[in-house]
Amino acid sequence: MGSAPALTKLGNKKVDTTRKRGGDHKLRLMSADKVNLYDPTKKTYIIAQIKTITDNSANKNFVRRNIMTKGTIIDTTAGKAKITSRPGQTGSINAVLI
């Protein structure tokens, strides 16, 4: 059992709400163009614009389709970053500068 993957894409922010067991709700991020970015050298957080997706270890075809999953390397206005959250499960994109 389960649901189809969210396959979060690069684009204007779009969030879908689904009902979970017990009546609770889960936010599924369908598309996004901004990321919550952590800079480990300065120990600060910023919100950066996503330019493009450069690498995805989950599936090489996700790069061509601009799909983001956990572990995806993205190019932002602040530099390259690695996604540390699960956008299709949490409803937001968190990343760390590399």
DSSP string, 6-42: --EEESS-EEEEEE-TTS-EEEEEEEESEEEEEETTT
Cβ contact 83:75 at 8 Å: no
pLDDT at 3: 82
Position 39: which residue type?
D
Whole-angstrom distance, CA of residue 8 vs CA of residue 45: 22
The listed CATH number (3.40.50.300, 2.40.10.230, 3.10.290.70, 3.10.290.10) that belongs to domain 8-97: 3.10.290.70
pTM of the model as a whole: 0.89
pLDDT digits (tens, 9 = 90+) for 40-55: 999 999 999 999 999 9
pLDDT at 73: 97
Whole-angstrom distance, CA of residue 44 vs CA of residue 14: 26
